Structure 1
């Protein structure tokens, strides 16, 4: 029974109710003390303080019972008419409970040798304070319902955040599953194109692709990976590209030191390098140079990829509608960072530049190492 009762007992709520009523008792007793002193009424100050402390204890005890009862009624999904009727009854019973129990305790402990109050006096005290007790009860019950209301809102927000997180993860998994076949098909097309020209290089590319796929599949369920892992995948992809295009492709990596443990979206850079080779070559651009710069600036990680191939004829919004890879990157960045990132593609000094900035987030291993 005590175990069942415990789930309806909220210590934090009891603390709030007792504190609120303590403030009321201090204000109410302070007012009465001032009136008694200013009117020079004869007062037993010890009994006066004891009476106020006793009142606070009794009301707090009663409100513990009401808080438990309210939680029970809410848990059982009691009809509104019954809840209102129960609270209406207790709003009057609180006066009976407080005045009656005060009278009993006063008679037992504080009235030895003094005239004891009669039941008529007790009834008069109940009637005199009936409106005050009603307002006290109404105020404290309002606090109880406000407490549970805000608690429910908070739980609802947490549940919504969890649901959004699950949806985001599902969306990211879908985007990653979309990215992997896209990357695989493009690489296989490259191998097929090379087979009639150089069978040995084609075989080497198949081996490299197998090795690369192993790395990609190991990380397939991770939305964010360390930069050093992303670069490991990228380097294997670059080796495949270099095997196909030989001296017609030069790729340079410039990585600022100390960024290895920063988390980045899985396969962020590879699709951009792939687009550079896919769209950079042309009749006037038979040799391609790609420069990849990764650096940190003002708590942001910057990835800048530039190539000296064909210039862009369209801006980013139009490009996003055309290719799977670029649009996939943007959707993943949207899901992971909301508006806290930048993605831009533009022409500058006979180069095509793709620039991405994301907030810096360290992996757990690096955070633990710092401590």
Structure 2
């Protein structure tokens, strides 16, 4: 039997299919008890062959091996059909346990006489004597029955708990995926409207530049649509989309925007959230470049630090007033980014904002578990 069969306890779920397992287990129990009898007889200098001492024990326990699957089925069926508590189960199983013990005593007494007769035993007990002998030890069958039923309930409740936990996890995962999809869908039109507005503004100043921007926008939309529904992409794919976006912005700002990109080639295959950098760079351009007449500088750095992929966007704008770093009012882009990191990575995904010197710019850092 495969390892996962034992882990899932399939012999409890489908006991009749594994009848041989129950018989084999109880046969081994009977074998060792017979062996123990042989050792005991040898100790007290009483002569008896191993076979004579073993087969009654094996017979006794093999009968339980035959009864065991049916007891499990009965316990599972009653547990499934009964919505009441433990008192109802006790009321049901006590009489069934007594009847099963009587049935076991009848089967054992009959087979004990029949096999003893075939083996020409010197001291052959009658059916009634064997039956009464078994009834004298009635507590043992009752304990065995209770143990089988108890184990069945324990496994059933454990499996039910696991199934419910799995369903809850699946629901939570689907909810998280739905929320991520909503966040991503929110981000795409936000970026698109901003870019179209930039094109509209440029149309009155430079037709050729606006035309180039439209071509780049079509490339960007195609690349974005190819990853629709995908929450994570490789860093290489993310950087390719970011470069197209930056080409659009460089056409818009021309000499006023200087961009540098530095990526560690060793982490190109690492997974990052889809479109995680675009809203951060957009914010840097909006607040660090567009509002000032001086040349704007945007630096994008991607590296692995302390088990995290660190994505960093730095601008040379005004930054934030130091008293408001902790409670800055974030717009759609940063809020969206922070929520996506929380959904995908929990506390392991972070968005950190820091001023660069005194009025020398803003550093936005994204930490993603590698």
Consecutive unaligned residues of structure 2, counting only runs of 5 or more, are 1-10
Aligned to 2:103: 97
The number of residues matched between the two structures is 354
Aligned to 1:366: none
Aligned to 1:130: 138
**TM-score (ref. length: structure 1):** 0.84
Measured against aligned partners, the alpha-carbon deviations of 1:183-203 in whole angstroms (never above 9, x if no partner) come to 112212222332333233223
Which one of 340, 355, 365 corresponds to residue 355 of structure 1? 365
Find out whether 1:159 has 2:164 as its counterpart: no
What is the distance in 2 between the residues matched to 1:340 and 1:16? 47
SS of 1:132's equivalent? helix
What is the distance in 2 between the residues matched to 1:7 and 1:95? 21
Find out whether 1:9 has 2:14 as its counterpart: yes
**TM-score (ref. length: structure 2):** 0.84
In terms of mean alpha carbon deviation, does 67-76 or 304-313 score higher? 67-76
What is the distance in 1 between the residues matched to 2:269 and 2:116? 73
What is the distance in 2 between the residues matched to 1:12 and 1:262? 47
Structure with larger RCO (C-alpha < 8 A, sep 6+): 1
What is the distance in 1 between the residues matched to 2:240 and 2:259? 15
Find out whether 1:170 has 2:175 as its counterpart: no
Task: Report the CA distance shift for 1:28/1:95 in structure 2 as closer, same or farther (over 3 A).
Answer: farther
Aligned to 2:262: 254
What is the distance in 1 between the residues matched to 2:243 and 2:20? 61
Which one of 53, 57, 79 corresponds to residue 48 of structure 1? 53
Find out whether 1:297 has 2:302 as its counterpart: no
Find out whether 1:323 has 2:313 as its counterpart: no
Aligned to 1:68: 73
Which one of 232, 243, 250 corresponds to residue 242 of structure 1? 250
In terms of mean alpha carbon deviation, does 181-190 or 261-270 score higher? 181-190
What is the distance in 1 between the residues matched to 2:330 and 2:366? 19
In terms of mean alpha carbon deviation, does 335-344 or 49-58 score higher? 49-58
Q: CA RMSD in A?
A: 3.1
Q: Please give the residue correspondences for 1:193-272 in structure 2 after superposition, counting only pairs within 5 Å.
A: 193-272=201-280
Consecutive unaligned residues of structure 1, counting only runs of 5 or more, are 1-5, 361-371
Structure 1 position 147, deviation (Å)? 0.5
